[in-house]
Amino acid sequence: MKRLSILIILLAFLCIGCGNDNSAKKDSPAQTPTGTPAPTETPTETPTPTETPTPTETPTPTPTEAVMQNWDTSNVDISWIDPNKKLVAFTFDDGPTQYYDELLDILEENGMHATFFVWGKQYNKSYEAVVKRVVEQGCELGNHTWSHPHLKTLDEAKIAEEVEKVRALLEDLTGIKSFLVRPPYGEADMKVQFAIPVPLINWSVDSADWNNGTYESVYQRVMSNLKDGDIVLMHASYKYTMEAVKTMIPELIADGYQIVSVSELAAVRGKTLQPGHAPYTSIR
C-alpha cells in the first residue's frame, strides 16, 4: 500500500510537470527576439550591370542606292593639254551612229578629243567596236538616257532607271563605271538633278544642227560664237555636222584652241563638277 501511494504521488508530479510545460508554451507571448535585432537584410549587392551589348555593325547602304559623288577627274590624262591655250569641249549627242567612225577619224588626225553622249536605244551590237574605240582613242563616253524622254515628266525612279540602263550598257562595253549625263533636250529641274547621281552637262554654244541645219549653218553658229571654256552641242546624226567638224577643227587649232572632252576641260580648269547641280553649260 505504501509503495502504491508513492508511485501515485510520483506519477502526479510528473503529470503536473507535463501540464505546466504545455500551458507555458501555449500562453507565453511570442518570444521577443533577444539581442540585436536581426538586421534587415542588407540589400544584396546591386547587380553589376551586364555589359551593354556591343552594337552590331552599322548596316551598309544597299548597293542599289546610288551615291552622289563629286565628279572624279583624277584619272583623266591631261598631260597632252596646254592649260595656257584656249579650250573648247565638243559634244556629240544621239549616237552611236554611222558617223561615229568618221568623227573619230577627224579627231584622231588632229590629235583632239570630244565627248560622245550615248542614246541607249540607238545602240546595237554593230556599234560595239566603235563605242569601244571612243574610249581607246582617249575620247569620252557620256550618258544620254535610254529612251530620250522628257525627264521632267517622269518620276524619280523612272529617271534613275533611264540613266542606269545606259550606264550599265557602257560599263559592259568599256569597264568604266560612271559617265556624265546629258539630259535629253537639255531639260532638268531639281527633281531630275537629284534623281541622277552624276553631274549633268548642257552647252553654251548650240550648233542647231538639229533644227534644219546645213554645213554652213553649223559652221557659222559654232565659229562665230565660240570662246574659251565653251561646251558645244552637236549631234552625231548628220553628215553635214560631221563635214562641218572636219573643217572647224583645223581652223580652231590654228586659232590657238585645243578641242577636248568635258572631263578634260573640267580637269584642266580645276573645276569640280557636282551631282545635284543645275546642268553645267561651260567650264571656265
Binding footprint of Zn ion on the chain (CB under 5 A): 93-94, 184
Spatial contact of 65 and 208, defined as CB atoms under 8 Å apart: no
Report in angstroms how near the CB of residue 147 gets to Zn ion at its nearest. 11
Report in angstroms how near the CB of residue 178 gets to Zn ion at its nearest. 20
Report in angstroms how near the CB of residue 184 gets to Zn ion at its nearest. 5
Place of cell 577619224: 105
For this structure, is 93 an active site residue? yes
For this structure, is 228 an active site residue? no
- Maximum CA extent, the chain: 165
Annotated catalytic residue: which of 93, 94, 209, 230? 93
Residue closer to Zn ion by CB (options 150, 158) is 150
Closest-by-Cβ residue to Zn ion is 93
Report in angstroms how near the CB of residue 253 gets to Zn ion at its nearest. 27
CA angle 28, 33, 36 (to 5 degrees): 160
For residue 118, the Cα-to-chain-centroid distance in whole angstroms is 21
Q: What is the CB neighbour count within 10 angstroms for residue 183?
A: 27
Residue closer to Zn ion by CB (options 93, 162) is 93
Residue closer to Zn ion by CB (options 142, 229) is 142
Q: What is the CB neighbour count within 10 angstroms for residue 239?
A: 12
Q: Give the span between the Cα atoms of 112 and 17, in whole angstroms.
A: 130
Nearest Cα residue to 167 out of 176, 158, 159: 176
Report in angstroms how near the CB of residue 198 gets to Zn ion at its nearest. 17
Long-range contacts of 247-252 (CB under 8 A, 24+ apart): 247/219, 248/219, 248/222, 248/223, 249/106, 249/107, 249/110, 249/112, 250/110, 251/223, 252/88, 252/223, 252/226
Residue closer to Zn ion by CB (options 93, 264) is 93
C-alpha distances in angstroms, 56 versus 5, 59, 67, 87? 94, 8, 23, 52
Residue closer to Zn ion by CB (options 184, 197) is 184
Annotated catalytic residue: which of 94, 144, 209, 235? 235
Show which residues are catalytic.
93, 235
